[in-house]
Structure 1
Amino acid sequence: MERDKTKCLSLMPEHLLIGCMDDGSFPVKEARVKSGIEVASLRNSINPEKETSCGVVSEPFHTHVTCSTKRVLDVSVSYMHSYKQVYLNEGHVIKALIKTGMTSGLLTQEQNKALMDIAVVSRDMLMDLSAYFTPDLPFRNIRKVVKKDTENLIRFIEGEFKGNWTDSIKISLSKTLIPIFIATDSSGSIVGFAAYNPNGHFGPMGVALNRRSEGIGQSLLHSCLGEMKVKGYREVIIDSAGPIEFYERTCNAEVVPVD
């Protein structure tokens, strides 16, 4: 749509930047406001005559993209893979645009920094449970952890996530009432987990890389939220949420604004 508006033959990095700025999540909008990024000015700065080469093909776009745009997309995908994610999001693209120098002349150093500090990083989120109800879960094999699951859960975390959450999960497993849910496959093997703690914080949560996009994370999240609601929690803090879009879409959580 942005390419059509500017009458360009190929999709340029500027179009990606405008797309992220104009239809972004709360952190992007917050960074825009705090740093004074104006979408209209970005759009007006595009000159179709800057296209110096014919476009190339790059999925999933049906239109051609410039070689510079292809480079940005490739770097974006590398960021996605480094975070062990399966969906490309605006954070990956914005970071790639800045790191490849494509925002030079479009944004100031202060604006680049605001995007990197506010829009690209993980952020804490807050969810109000007062009107919450648990929806139908797309993935059914969800249950609470029991003591006999300890060894398998630790092995799963160490194998899938390099043990990043092992210590915090061991603390949760030591409790009498373990605040952890797991997702299992047809053979009973663990394919995902989610935890919360008594002070009202949700997390961590992780799903096996080869089982993403099946609704497992969504189901684990709602299982925890449902139990927290029953236990009387009024709000939930989601620590260092990422990707933010998942929590905005799945449970209407809101990003905690930067002071």
Structure 2
Amino acid sequence: MQYKLTEQMEKALEIAEKERKGSLSPCILPGHLLLGCLNDGSFPVWEAKQKSLIDPSFVRESLIPHEETMSYEFCQPFNLPVCLSTKLVLKQAVNYMKNYNQIFLNEGHVLKALIKTGQTKGLLTRDQENALLNIATISRDMILSLKRYNSTGGEYKYIRMLSNQDGEKLIRFIQEEFGSRWTDSIQQSIVQQKSSICVAMDQDGEEIVGFAAFDIQKPGFFGPMGVVKNRRSKGIGESLLHFCLKEMSKMGYKEIIIDQAGPIEFYEKTCNAKVIPSIDLDCY
């Protein structure tokens, strides 16, 4: 399985391992994994916990070792002892990650897998499961102040605004890499000749390896953004983001919205964006 872990997912696994040792279990149970995700410091998870009154201590006290602990293995690449149920949860989480066309496994993937495979039964109520699914495992809008924004723009230098000749090439790139979910809005922007799309090219300047856009959905909204899968985690996405943020700052924007941010941790680390809290207390 070729993937990476977000820092919060690494922290969640560390917590799960500590919970395992504290319970004297020979392997990590799904409940230990749940505790790790509930306490990794993610704002969406914290918000779901607050709104549905999830109590990690109740989860911990409800853990009951079962026959699976007699048979376990060291799951790679984590190198942690896990029972069969935990291994299946992690595999399902990786499947969710792949379905979202991502390469970083995060706590949202794992929480969704825990709930959908029935491993939270007896540990969480139905309302608590729904709160996690609808608050902590989905894309969220984020807000970013540009008043004091200052950045070198990232290390990848082969980025420029979209030219008239690049339109069809960009649409093909998006369809091949991400399907059709963004093509209509990007196509409309190209037709209207909006200067709000930038592209990352390969070093020869021939092939598109990434793109980012703003003012597509609404004025002051950043997104969508995407990088070809085999070039991710190379700094291209970070450079595309900063390129657009600089343009938006020049246009006079003081505050922007990052539309439906999937990799929340990426935007938190790269530009200090904040998740917009849910307004509807009954949203789950």
Question: Which runs of 5 or more residues in structure 2 are unaligned?
Answer: 1-17, 280-284
Aligned to 2:242: 222
Deviation (angstroms), 1:187: 2.8
Deviation (angstroms), 1:57: 2.3
For 1:245 and 1:152, locate their aligned partners in 2 and report how far apart those are by CA, in whole Å: 30
**Fraction of identical pairs, as percent:** 52
Q: Deviations over 1:151-208 (max 9, x none)?
A: 2111111111122211211222234551111111123210100000171000111111
The answer on 1:149 being equivalent to 2:166 is: yes
The answer to whether the Cα contact below 8 Å between 2:209 and 2:231 also exists between their aligned partners in 1 is: yes
Q: When the two structures are superposed, what TM-score results if normalisation uses the length of structure 2?
A: 0.87
The answer on 1:202 being equivalent to 2:222 is: yes
For 1:121 and 1:108, locate their aligned partners in 2 and report how far apart those are by CA, in whole Å: 19
Of residues 79, 93, 99, the one that matches 1:76 is 93
Corresponding letter in the other structure for 1:60:
P
The answer to whether the Cα contact below 8 Å between 2:174 and 2:183 also exists between their aligned partners in 1 is: yes
Which sits farther off after the overlay, 142-151 or 50-59?
50-59
For 1:49 and 1:167, locate their aligned partners in 2 and report how far apart those are by CA, in whole Å: 51
The answer on 1:173 being equivalent to 2:194 is: no
Which sits farther off after the overlay, 45-54 or 140-149?
45-54
The answer on 1:2 being equivalent to 2:19 is: yes
For 1:97 and 1:49, locate their aligned partners in 2 and report how far apart those are by CA, in whole Å: 17
The answer to whether the Cα contact below 8 Å between 1:134 and 1:223 also exists between their aligned partners in 2 is: no
For 2:152 and 2:143, locate their aligned partners in 1 and report how far apart those are by CA, in whole Å: 19
Aligned to 2:3: none
Which sits farther off after the overlay, 27-36 or 213-222?
213-222
The answer to whether the Cα contact below 8 Å between 1:134 and 1:225 also exists between their aligned partners in 2 is: no
Question: Secondary structure of the equivalent of 2:181?
Answer: coil
For 2:41 and 2:88, locate their aligned partners in 1 and report how far apart those are by CA, in whole Å: 21
For 2:183 and 2:66, locate their aligned partners in 1 and report how far apart those are by CA, in whole Å: 54
Deviation (angstroms), 1:100: 0.4
Q: When the two structures are superposed, what TM-score results if normalisation uses the length of structure 1?
A: 0.95
Corresponding letter in the other structure for 2:254:
R
Of residues 27, 30, 34, the one that matches 2:47 is 30
Instruction: Sort the Cα spacing of 1:31 and 1:240 in 2 relative to 1 into closer, same or farther, 3 A.
Output: same
The answer on 1:190 being equivalent to 2:197 is: no
For 2:276 and 2:176, locate their aligned partners in 1 and report how far apart those are by CA, in whole Å: 32
Q: Deviations over 1:4-38 (max 9, x none)?
A: 22221111111111111001421111000000011
Question: Secondary structure of the equivalent of 1:64?
Answer: strand
**How do 1:1-259 and structure 2 match up within 5 A?**
1-48=18-65, 51-176=68-193, 178-188=195-205, 189-197=207-215, 199-259=219-279
Question: Which runs of 5 or more residues in structure 1 are unaligned?
Answer: none
Corresponding letter in the other structure for 1:99:
K
For 1:203 and 1:125, locate their aligned partners in 2 and report how far apart those are by CA, in whole Å: 11
Q: Deviations over 1:89-148 (max 9, x none)?
A: 111000000000000000000100111111111111111111111235132211111111
The answer to whether the Cα contact below 8 Å between 2:62 and 2:122 also exists between their aligned partners in 1 is: no
For 1:34 and 1:199, locate their aligned partners in 2 and report how far apart those are by CA, in whole Å: 31
For 2:22 and 2:158, locate their aligned partners in 1 and report how far apart those are by CA, in whole Å: 47
For 2:223 and 2:119, locate their aligned partners in 1 and report how far apart those are by CA, in whole Å: 35
Corresponding letter in the other structure for 2:92:
V
The answer to whether the Cα contact below 8 Å between 1:24 and 1:90 also exists between their aligned partners in 2 is: no
Corresponding letter in the other structure for 1:114:
A
Aligned length: 259
For 2:41 and 2:118, locate their aligned partners in 1 and report how far apart those are by CA, in whole Å: 20
Taking only aligned residues, the RMSD between alpha carbons, in angstroms, comes to 1.6
The answer to whether the Cα contact below 8 Å between 2:210 and 2:227 also exists between their aligned partners in 1 is: yes
